[in-house]
Amino acid sequence: MGHGGLWPGFRTEFLRIPEADLTVVVIANLSTIDPWRQARTIARMILADLGRLKSGPAAVAEADVAPLAGTWFNAEEPSLFDLAWRSGEATVTQNGMPFVLARRADGWLAAERGSFEFAIKQAGADKLAVDLGAGRVLEFGKLGARNPVPNELAGRYVSADCGAAWTIARDGETWTMAVSGPLIAGGPLWTARGLDADTIEIVSPASWTTATQLAHLVRDNAGRITALEVSTGRIKKMRFERTE
């Protein structure tokens, strides 16, 4: 059992293993240190010294990841993630956040940290079964070439739920988003990337992390974009109505 915490420049981890009467606490004032991993390394060393360390599933190897590396997408959810072998580990990047996969006893590759509800298993050629938590297992397909952002996306979109307004415009080959609202105080412009015919990916840079969101393009009978339905890891289909 455990819980971590972080703030720019600080990271912590509290880990408890009741069966071994063992508690490990790691506190760091350097954001490049990984207390989650350090706490478990310390716990393994202690349990091995006590002769109480049990063997687990085999580690994930690069050969396990190579056939699955790439970008995976489910348009209905919508949800998108990248899978790559990075720094000697199977790494998923979802909603702008990277996390490492480990092998479970049942054969699935799952987020090694409990703060990410995520597991994958190959379900066929260019198909993955993805467990997003709460018993929701969806099929993802491997993404090929991205569609360009449609020219008719330019305009102003407002969400009544959060009071935010997005003004989307094209600047050469780049699509930018000026964002205003009660929780926005300056910062760099957001950008938009094409995904498929009805979805765009929004990149939101911040001072210490970069988040991504997916927006489904809602069209009227004439094909005109009338709204965006925006989804993140925690928010699903928040609606932004087009006002101009």
pLDDT in tens, 29-43: 988 888 999 999 999
Q: What b/e readout covers 22-46, taking b as 16+ CB neighbours within 10 angstroms?
A: eebebebeeeeebbbebbbebbeee
Among candidate residues 103, 105, 110, 64, the one with its CA nearest the CA of residue 85: 64
State the average pLDDT over residues 65-85.
Answer: 96
Among candidate residues 68, 231, 71, the one with its CA nearest the CA of residue 145: 71
The model's pTM is 0.87
Among candidate residues 89, 90, 86, 88, the one with its CA nearest the CA of residue 128: 90
In whole angstroms, how far apart are CA 124 and each of 81, 85, 119, 132, 212? 18, 20, 16, 19, 28
Instruction: Confirm if 166 and 157 have CB atoms less than 8 A apart.
Output: yes
Tell me the per-residue pLDDT of 96-150, one tens digit each, with 9 for 90 and over.
999 999 999 999 999 998 778 999 999 988 899 999 988 899 999 999 999 999 9
Read off the amino acid at residue 133.
Answer: G
For residue 200, pLDDT beyond 80: yes
Tell me the per-residue pLDDT of 138-172, one tens digit each, with 9 for 90 and over.
999 999 999 999 999 999 999 999 999 999 999 99
